Structure 1
Amino acid sequence: MSEHKRRRIYLMRHGSVTYFDSEGKPYLPEQVPLNELGREQASAAGKVFAAAGLRFDRVIISGLPRTVETAARVLAETGQDITPEQWPELVELRGGKLSAIPDEMLREAFVGAFDGVVPEARQFLGGESVGQLMDRVHPAIDRLRAQRDWDTVLLVLHGGVNRAILSYALTNQRIFLGNLAQTAGCINAIDVGDDHADWVVRMVNYSPLSTLQGESRHTTMEVLLEQYMKARRR
C-alpha cells in the first residue's frame, strides 16, 4: 500500500453553558462562561486526549469565553503549554433580537437552522443565515488545510460551526446538515489529505462523560426554546 499521509483535526464543541436564567431571560451569548457541567465536560475531554498521549501542534478557538475556557481545561489535562489562536470567523451563528420574534415564529427561529438539509437563507434566531455562516467557515477551514505547519490540530468551536465543518467534510460541498448532533463538550475527528476532496470523518459527537448519551432525546435548541418560553409566558 502506498503511503497516503493525512493530517488530523480534532473538532470539539465547547462545554455546557447557561444561556437563560431561571425566569427564561437571556444572558449575553458573547459573555457566558462554562457552567459546572461544562467545566467537567472540558476536563473529561482533556483526560481522554491525555490518556491517548495525543499532542497538539496548534489549538484554534473562536475567542468567545466558552471556547477559551474549554481549551484551557483541555490543555491543563494534557500538560501542553500552547497559546490558542483566536479565529473570530469561527464564532457561532449570530442570533438577532429574541423579543422581536413573533410567538408563532419562535419554534422555527430556534430549531429551523438545525433541521435536516438547511436552506442557505434560513436564519438563526432571526439573525445570521446559514449561508452567511458557511461564507466565513468554509474559507477558514480551507486556509487551515493549506497551512503546512501542523499534523494534529485541536479546534474548540460551537454547535452550528461544527455542523458547517462536518457537513463540508462529509459532502465536500456547500451543504449544511443541521441534524448532526453536537453535544456540549463533544469530540469529532476528521482526517484531511492534500487533495481538497480528501476528507475522512473518523468520529462524530463522542461525549466522554456520556458515551451512550442516554440522558435526553431533545436537541440543545429544543431545550433552549423551552427555557426561553418561560419568559414569554409571563
Structure 2
Amino acid sequence: MTQTPLPRRRLYLMRHGSVDYFLDDGTPVPPDTVPLNATGRAQADAAGALFAASAVTFDRVLVSGLPRTVETAQRALAAARSTTTIETDPALQEIRPGRLSDLPRDQVRDAFLGAFEGGATREAVEQHRFLGGESVGELLDRCLPAWTRFLARDDWDCALLVLHGGVNRALLSSALAGTRAFFGRIEQAPACINVLDIGADHAVVRAMNLSPSQWLHHRERQTTMEKLLAQYLRT
C-alpha cells in the first residue's frame, strides 16, 4: 500500500545584514540599537530580490524586534514586493553580551569565540558566557520555547524569520540534533538564508548559510565572530 508523504511547511531562517558594532574611533555601539550599514542594506536587498525571482511568498514574517532584524526584514520584503506584516518576539533576540570593559585582557578571545569553536563538552558550551553576559544555556532556555511556539502555529505554510547568528545556531542545531543542542561551528554570514522544511514530528534542514550576495563565500576566510574580535582588538 502506498503511503501519502506527510505534508511539510517551508521556513526561511535569515540572519540580519551586516552592521558596525564599533565607530571609526573605536567607540562601541550598543547592540540593541545598531542599524545595518551600507553593506548590510545591500545584502538584505539581495535576499529579497532572490525571494522575488523564486516567486516565494510569505504567510508570516517574524523578527526579534532589534533594529537590525527589523530593517533587514523590511528591506527584504520590499525587494520581494511583499506586504506581509512583520511580527516580533523579543525571546528570539541575540545572546546578550556583558560589558566589554569588564573583560580581563587574557580572557577576551575565549569570551568572543569560546562557544563557537567546538571541542568542548555540551555542559561546558552551555555554561559559556558570551562576552561575560548571557550564557549559551540561558539563550537556549529563552529561544527554544519561542521557536517551539512558532512551529506549533497553524496559521502559516511559508514563513520568514529574520534573527541573529547565535540564535540561528541554536535553532539549526536543535533541528539537526532533534533535541536541545548548540553547534557553534555552524557559520552564519550576514543576511544569509537557511532553508528548513517543518514536518509534524521533525524538521528537515535543506540548506544553510546561503549568501545571495556572495554564493561561494569566496572572499571569506574568517568567521563573523573572528572579524568582530579583530575589530575590538584594533580599538
What range describes the TM-score normalised by the shorter chain of this pair?
over 0.9
Distance in 2 (CA, whole Å) between partners of 1:191 and 1:225 is: 34
Measure, in 2, the Cα distance between the counterparts of 1:62 and 1:15: 14
TM-superposed deviation, 1:217: 0.9
SS at match of 1:153: strand
Q: Which residue of the other structure, out of 189, 192, 215, is the alignment partner of 1:211?
A: 215
Matches of 1:4 and 1:174, distance apart in 2: 24
Aligned mate of 2:131, from 118, 122, 125:
125
2:177 paired with 1:171: yes
Name the Cα RMSD after superposition: 1.0
Instruction: Give the distance between the partners of 2:14 and 2:151, measured in 1 at CA.
Output: 17
Partner of 1:200: 204
Alignment of structure 1 residues 54-203 onto 2, 5 Å = 54-116=56-118, 119-195=125-201, 198-203=202-207
Q: Which runs of 5 or more residues in structure 1 are unaligned?
A: none
Give 1:22 deviation, angstroms. 2.2
Aligned structure 1 segments of 4 or more residues deviating by more than 6 angstroms: none
The gaps in structure 2 that reach 5 residues or longer are: none
Aligned to 2:9: 7
Structure-2 separation of matches of 1:160 and 1:76: 26
- Out of 19, 31, 49, the residue aligned to residue 17 of structure 1 is 19
TM-score, normalised relative to structure 2 = 0.95
Q: Name the stretch that deviates more: 18-27 or 98-107.
A: 18-27
Instruction: Report the Cα offset of residue 3 of structure 1.
Output: 2.8
- Per the normalisation by structure 1, the TM-score is 0.95
Letter in 1 for 2:173: S
**Superposition deviation, residue 199 in structure 1:** 1.1
Following superposition, the deviation at residue 109 of structure 1 comes to 0.4
Match of 2:49 in 1: 47
Output the CA distance in 1 between the equivalents of 2:164 and 2:233: 23
Q: CA deviation at 1:155?
A: 0.1
**Secondary structure at the residue paired with 1:120?**
helix
Offset of 1:68 from its aligned partner? 0.6
The alpha-carbon deviation at position 77 of structure 1 amounts to 1.3
Question: Which whole-Å deviations, capped at 9, do the CAs of 1:210-234 have from their partners, x for residues lacking one?
Answer: 0000112111111111111122xxx
Whether the aligned pair in 2 keeps the contact of 1:24 and 1:229 (CA below 8 Å) is: no
Aligned counterpart in structure 2 of residue 226 of structure 1, from 226, 230, 235 = 230
Determine the C-alpha separation between the residues in 2 that align with 1:216 and 1:145.
33
Percent sequence identity over matched residues?
Answer: 54
